[in-house]
Chain A
Amino acid sequence: MKLEDATASIGRAASTSFSGYLGANHPELLPSSRSAGGLTPASAPTVAPHATTIVSMTYAGGVLMAGDRRATMGNIIASRHIEKVFPADMYSVLGIAGSAGIALDIMRLFQVELEHYEKIEGDLMSLDGKANRLAAMIRANLPLALQGLAVVPLFAGFDTAQRVGRLFSYDVTGGRYEEQEHHSVGSGAAFARGALKKLWKPNLDEDRAVRVAVESLYDAADDDSATGGPDVVRQLWPVVYTANSAGARRVPERELALAAAQVIDSRSVAGREA
């Protein structure tokens, strides 16, 4: 082997990306390998389930992310049980809005991407590194996004170097934007954002932050038909994850049932229209 050949392998070895490896060796397994044929943005919402509202906010010592449980297909409720917030790795969480099937694939690929890096390198990826990897995956989905199958994630994590919780939003072209205080995505995002503007305060404690998240989703569900509110009949509550210095944690069902009951009770007692 000539020296140039031998040294060229160093550049290739520097890639510890699982999605990069899949792209080179098993491109058919990538979420972006789908072909949507003649699908148009107008018809897309009625053929594939669409996942809706995600809210995220910082609180004292970490970040929190919450998602409602509804997926819609046009005017039909496609799922009442769908979960749209997931732990990405030990210190970060990912929430997804948009075309549900593609979004769940991207989420799964992203989880393996982070774990793969950790195993190959023997160390955790930096939070900015994770945010950039996710941006690359969303960028790869741009052709499908233009046909109406867009995926818009929200990424939040505890930065172990800076010791703070941070959150990132994305656009369909893979643009990555760091957000301050709080952010929301999905069809009910505008209503959730309005609620968060009034309810969010600096340095909320964790219990209070969970309640703010549940209440903002309640407000989103109140005005957006594609967002599901707390379902007391089926006992379904939003999925909420927190990430702080101790790692990512799913908030237990009973805490969420309690938070939802508090919101519903306070609204019933007030007896007002909105």
Chain B
Amino acid sequence: MTQQFYVSPEQLTRDRADFARKGIARGRSVVVLSCRDGIALVAENPSPSLHKVGEIYDRIAFAAVGKYNEFESLRQAGVRYADVRGYSYDRGDVTARGLASVYAQSLGAVFTADSKPFEVELAVAEVGSHPDSDHLYRLTFDGSIADEQRFIVMGGQADAVVDALSSRWDADHDFGEAVRTAVDALRNDGGGAVGGVSEPRVRLDAGALEVAVLDRDPLTTRGARRAFRRFLPAEVATMLEGTQH
């Protein structure tokens, strides 16, 4: 029988974290930002059907980076959690905080106990009646949970995107302005290095983007209870053209 080598818990945790981080950084960034009209979720995603952002419940959306099969199963589990809760209690009793905490428990348990941690990072967003009451939760592969303000950037070269976004983010933006700001910031992810200085990419086409929003007041604007709305590529293209005017 072969003898297992002793590995210290610190070393084991570090190795697992490095493994997960590498997997997450491999993809492109996703931006979730709060604005006057609601919450915008913008991802660079060439596939029109394998979504990185999705609807969870009336006022709650989900965004993720990393391995598709892993975050898709987490998204479906989130939808089941929310639907069971809303069905057995009341629709108003489904909150982003509750969902984020069950995600944290699940990610944390897999990180310590399973053979491999999830290579994903998640955002759970809940739109409030005004921007101050929006909730943005960031969940990382080890089950850490953070309550963020203003915006969340995950995956790819997130630091470069955060730098570009923090100077231009404005609580008073409408959806068009917020999406354009986010897309401009996303150009900094994966830019080519010119003479040692990283340059943003020239442009991102509507076809390479996935854009969805949570309306702040869907009942009066659309007569619907569900705030989540996905934009078609043509609508995204119209939104982006606003830059030139």
Q: Measuring CB to CB, which residues of chain A are less than 8 angstroms from any residue of chain B? A: 18, 21-22, 25-26, 29, 108-109, 112, 115-116, 119-120, 122
Contacts and interface: CB of A to CB of B under 8 A. Distances in A.
A26 B79 contact: no
A108 B89 CA distance: 12
Interface residues of B, number: 14
B86 interface: yes
B237 interface: no
B87 A29 contact: yes
B51 A115 contact: no
A122 B55 CA distance: 9
B76 A120 contact: yes
B66 interface: no
B87 A108 contact: yes
Contacts of B79: 116, 119-120
B84 A119 contact: no
Contacts of B83: 18, 112, 115-116, 119
Contacts of A18: 80, 83, 87
A22 B80 CA distance: 9
B54 A119 contact: yes
Contacts, number: 33
A180 to B, nearest CB: 31
Nearest to A111: B87
A25 B84 CA distance: 10
A21 B88 contact: no
Contacts of A122: 49, 51, 54
22 contacts: A18-B80, A18-B87, A21-B80, A21-B84, A22-B84, A22-B87, A26-B84, A26-B88, A29-B87, A29-B88, A109-B87, A112-B83, A112-B86, A112-B87, A115-B83, A116-B79, A116-B80, A116-B83, A119-B79, A119-B83, A120-B76, A122-B51
A112 B55 CA distance: 14
Nearest to A21: B80
Nearest to B58: A115
Interface of B: 49, 51, 54-56, 76, 79-80, 83-84, 86-88, 226
Contacts of B54: 119, 122
Can you list the 6 inter-chain pairs with the closest CB atoms, starting with the nearest? A119-B79, A116-B83, A112-B87, A119-B55, A29-B88, A112-B83
A28 to B, nearest CB: 9
B61 to A, nearest CB: 11
Q: Which of B55, B76, B87 has the largest number of chain A CB atoms within 10 A?
A: B87
A115 B79 CA distance: 10
A29 B51 contact: no
Given A119-B55, A120-B79, 6 more contacts: A18-B83, A21-B80, A29-B84, A112-B83, A119-B54, A122-B54
B110 to A, nearest CB: 16
A108 B49 CA distance: 29
A60 B84 CA distance: 38
Contacts of A115: 83, 226
A21 B88 CA distance: 13
Nearest to A25: B84
A13 to B, nearest CB: 9
Q: Which of A29, A108, A119 has the largest number of chain B CB atoms within 10 A?
A: A119
Contacts of B86: 112
